[in-house]
């Protein structure tokens, strides 16, 4: 998982930039789920910085993203995510496969 995370970090510079409509959808999911309308999605944002981002909401977040973007994450991928940047990279990768 960390290996996967490390590979993601190396590719982050090219792949973490999302389409604006996808990014908007992602921000909306975060804001509604964590009940923080003013939340800004930085790549470095982690669960520690968001009071309501616990293990339950982490899984909820993933399930909501899967439903919204019609993608599927493996449990390895879910467990390996360290911050929003890595989530974006992973999501971009999944969306690229769909196109």
Partner 1 sequence: MVYFNSLTFWCGVFFSYLFINLKVPFSKTFSFGIINFICLSVLFDIKLALACLGCVSLFWCFLDVIQDQKKSQFFFKLYSLLCIFFLVGLFLLHKSYLDNPTFFNIGHYLFDRYEPIQPVFMLMSTLAFSYIFLRFLDLFRAVMAGNTILDPFSLLGYLVPFYMLASGPVNVYTEYVATNQKKSIKPNFTQLLLCMNLITNGLFLKFVCAEGLRILFYGVNGKLQSGDLFNSAFILIYVFFDFAGYSYVAFGIGKLLDIPTPLNFQSPYISKTVTEFWTRWHVSLGDFVKRNIFIPLQVTMIRKWGITYAYWTNLIALIASFVFVGIWHRLSLKFIIWGIAVGCIVAVEKIIRDQIIKRDKDFFKKFSFGNILGPFYVFCVIVGTLHFAIQDLLGQ
Binding site for partner 1 (CB under 8 A): 1-4, 6, 35-36, 51-52, 54-56, 59-60, 62-64, 67, 74-76, 78-80
38 vs 44 by CB, closer to partner 1: 38
Any residues with CB less than 8 A from the CB of 98 and at least 6 apart, and which?
70, 71
Minimum distance from CB of 17 to partner 1 (Å)?
25
C-beta of 10: minimal distance to partner 1 in Å?
10
Q: Shortest gap between Cβ of 19 and partner 1 (angstroms)?
A: 25
Torsion of the alpha carbons at 10, 14, 86 and 3, rounded to the nearest 10: -30
| Cβ nearer to partner 1, comparing 11 with 52 | 52
Smallest separation (angstroms) from partner 1 to the CB of 36 = 8
C-alpha–C-alpha distance, residues 19 and 8, integer Å = 18
Closer CB to partner 1, 2 or 44, in the complex:
2
User: DSSP readout, 22-64?
Assistant: HHHHHHHHHHHHTT-TT----TT--GGGSTT-SHHHHHHHHHH
């Amino acid at each position: 998982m960390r290996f996967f995370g490390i590979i993601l970090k190396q590719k982050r510079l090219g792949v973490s930039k999302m389409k604006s409509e996808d990014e908007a959808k992602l921000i909306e999911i975060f804001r509604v789920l964590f009940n923080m309308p003013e939340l800004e999605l930085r790549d470095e944002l982690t669960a520690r910085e968001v009071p309501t981002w616990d293990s339950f909401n982490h899984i909820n977040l993933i399930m909501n993203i899967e439903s919204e973007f019609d993608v599927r994450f493996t449990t390895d991928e879910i467990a390996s995510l360290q911050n929003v940047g890595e989530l974006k990279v992973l999501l971009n990768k999944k969306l690229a496969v769909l196109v």
